[in-house]
Structure 1
Amino acid sequence: MSMQGSGGAGTRKGPIRPDTVVDAALALVELGGLASLTMRRLSDALGTQPPALYRLFRDKDALVDAMADAVLASALGPLPEADWETRVSVLAGRLRAAMLGQRDGARIVGGSYTSRQPTMALADSLLAAMEEAGFTGETAVWAMTTVFSYVLGEALEQQGRTGVDLEEAQATFSTEDYPHLARSPLAALLDFDTRFAFGLRMITAGLREGAQGFPPG
């Protein structure tokens, strides 16, 4: 995909579509990270001027909301005809894959509150599973956000990891000052797939046990 209009910045002919802007924005983030995205840089990549973008998105936050929906759209799809725990696990896995599939995907999605179809469809599916588990009212909403926040947090951790050598760092720990850290297999922190699966099992087990113990309000 070319990120530059054929005639250079500000020479695009014809109207520009919102989905074209979102695709270009995600491509720019893929190249330089979310911090590199500006409306000026985006308009240059599209061969137009910033006012053309602001006619479609009132500000950068509105654009990022639309980008979040585009990221989450890849998590949509039919769910297996299975119990609520299986459906939650499938949805959580899809959400994680969607965020990890885009550079800074978790940062794009985090804090985005949109009413577009992808976000609403995923929220509705999670809420249906929570209600099947036995949660009602506010507790169903909180159970849903517990799962979503876990997935988001794990994706943020994985995408934000640094090049720190945990084994090397562990070798410097004083057994007197940090006895538990010194004898722990800290390299497991970077086994993101396994730790995600473990945490998700813990959450679904807790939800299964707690569904009847947390009355609304």
Structure 2
Amino acid sequence: MRHHRSDVVEHAIAVLDAYGLADLTMRRLASELDVRPSALYHHFANKQTLLAAVADELLARGLRPVDEGEWDVRLTQAASQVRDALLAWRDGAELVATVHAFGLGGRAAYDHVAEALEGCGLDEQWRATAARTVLHLVFGHATAEQTHVQASSAGAIDGEVAAVDDFSDGLSLVVAGIRAEVDSRRAS
């Protein structure tokens, strides 16, 4: 049976969600698709390009246009959407953060956050720095959340997921810092 690129990505997402990133191998994916591993290379040059396509698809499924409004409201909504998209899938945060760091994919996460900063009063360089800072908060927080859940469910650590979710508070602190920079530039 011949599979299309989209079939391979869809099955890779299912393997990711069922087994985790460490077990998303070309061999396992080929087995799920009932093909030889070499057949996957017709669609993807290597595992890294497959992972980038999976990351891009996870983001495409989770990101929606942000509401109209002030830049800080848009930024908060955009960052929250990226976080939700990452947390929707097992190891989604690690996958997207990794391919983004390698420059292979996951660009939609950055673009989503950066777009929310349009019109905030910062020049392009400062907007890019602000977007990367927010994105690093999102990646780090979501990865920590997923790691804690997995370690707890595997019995590696005692306890449930932390009752305090401080993502919103941390994001508010970062947005306040960006707002302070915007205000200082307007004053000068």
Which residue is equivalent to 1:62? 49
Structure 1 residue 128 displacement after superposition: 3.0
Count of residue pairs brought into register by the alignment: 177
Cα pair 1:64 1:108 within 8 Å, conserved: yes
Residue identity matched to 1:43? A
Greater Cα radius of gyration, structure 1 or 2 = 1
Which consecutive segments of 4 or more residues in structure 1 shift more than 3 A?
Answer: 113-116, 122-125, 162-166
Change (3 A) 1:192 1:106: farther
Within a 5 Å distance, the mapping from 1:14-93 to structure 2 comes to 15-93=2-80
Which residue is equivalent to 1:96? 83
Alpha-carbon distance in structure 2 between the residues aligned to 1:115 and 1:36: 20
Moved more, 44-53 or 127-136: 127-136
Structure 1 residue 86 displacement after superposition: 0.8
Cα pair 1:135 1:212 within 8 Å, conserved: no
Q: Sequence identity of aligned pairs in percent?
A: 33
SS at match of 1:107: helix
Alpha-carbon distance in structure 2 between the residues aligned to 1:151 and 1:192: 16
Q: Deviations over 1:124-155 (max 9, x none)?
A: 34223324222212221111111111011000
Structure 1 residue 204 displacement after superposition: 0.5
Cα pair 2:63 2:85 within 8 Å, conserved: no
Which residue is equivalent to 1:124? 111
- 1:190 partnered with 2:157: no
Q: Which has the higher helix share?
A: 2
| Cα RMSD for the two superposed structures | 2.3
Residue identity matched to 2:163? D
Alpha-carbon distance in structure 2 between the residues aligned to 1:133 and 1:191: 34
Cα pair 1:75 1:91 within 8 Å, conserved: no
> Unaligned stretches of 5+ in structure 2?
none
Change (3 A) 1:125 1:158: closer
Normalising by structure 2, we get a TM-score of 0.84
Change (3 A) 1:209 1:94: same
Residue identity matched to 1:84? W
Change (3 A) 1:82 1:98: same
Structure 1 residue 111 displacement after superposition: 2.6
